[in-house]
Amino acid sequence: MTPEQARELFRAGTRAPTSGFSAGWTQANLIALPRDFAYDFLLFAQRNPKSCPVLEVTEPGETSAPRFAGDLRTDLPAYRVYRDGELVEERTDVADLWREDLVAFLIGCSFTFEAALLEAGVGVRHIETGGNVPMYRTNARCRPAGRLAGPQVVSMRPVPAEQVATAVRVTSRYPAVHGAPVHVGAPEALGIADLGAPDFGEPVEVRPGEVPVFWACGVTPQAAVMHSRPPFAIGHAPGHMAITDARDSEFLVP
């Protein structure tokens, strides 16, 4: 499915996690904030590049970007709407909520390197089960910027112990889409009490001989919104990404 076809599907109302969609095309996290918060957020991203690798920034009020030819208000499968940091609504379309002063940031997503993991023989459990990746709010704090602060959010994939090194090596070649894991094993050291109860997405089974491997996650901006309470923000529903017109290969380093 091309990015355009996938976006058309979502525009028409289909709602699904996008892991595995439009293989080879880059998926992105969305966070849209009032112009007044744009500098703080761009600085937050600069200071937390593992969590917030910025792919595109729109002009205020614009609804597309050079590497996203669709409509940011309608072409993601699902959105989350925040007022004063509270999640007030989840819906499949935010056309009527988009404002002239909103600046949208598209942020790299770890789904990008999943194709490379599969190719290297490292299975990806939530693709196998057709579910959403589990994501956790951690006790690691982001470096604050202006009025924005918050915890680092991570995604988790169980990896057989003998393939952990391969998973590190493969994903470190994609620094613009979270890159190498931030943490391998020991979820308790991240303040994660129960892997079975993720803060976002769905739990996956960690089998005997497998190690939970954690990557920085582009839901981190939404955790910062919840923590810092800007008056208004729109994000994607975790796991329900923007499918861009950029190629995964663009983010591969030698």
- Which positions lie near a second copy, rule CB under 8 A? 38-39, 42-43, 46-47, 54, 57, 169, 172-173, 175, 253-254
The residue length of the chain stands at: 254
Q: How far is the CB of 182 from a second copy (least distance, A)?
A: 16
The distance of closest approach from Cβ of residue 206 to a second copy in the complex, given in angstroms and rounded to an integer, is: 26
119 versus 253: smaller Cβ distance to a second copy: 253
The torsion angle over the Cα atoms of residues 78, 73, 241 and 202, rounded to 10 degrees, is -20
Task: Give start and end residues of each alpha helix (H) in 58-131.
Answer: 114-119, 125-128
Q: Which is nearer to a second copy, 5 or 46 (CB)?
A: 46
CB of 168 to a second copy, least distance (A): 9
> Would you say the C-alpha torsion 47, 50, 51, 55 has a positive or negative sign?
positive
**In this complex, which beta carbon is closest to a second copy, that of residue 218 or of residue 239?**
218
Minimum distance from residue 132 beta carbon to a second copy (Å):
29
Q: 136 vs 251, which CB is nearer to a second copy? A: 251
CB 134 within 8 A of CB 195: yes
Q: Which residue, 22 or 228, is less far from a second copy as judged by CB?
A: 228
From CA 32, how far away is CA 213, in angstroms rounded?
Answer: 29
Q: Which is nearer to a second copy, 208 or 253 (CB)?
A: 253
CB of 9 to a second copy, least distance (A): 30
Residue 147 makes CB contacts below 8 A (sequence gap 6+) with 37, 40, 228, 230
By the 8 A CB rule, do 114 and 177 touch? no
Q: What are phi and psi of 107, to 5 degrees?
A: -125, 135
Paired residues of 211 in beta bridges: 159
CB of residue 37 vs a second copy: minimum separation in angstroms?
10
Separation of first and last alpha carbons in the chain: 27
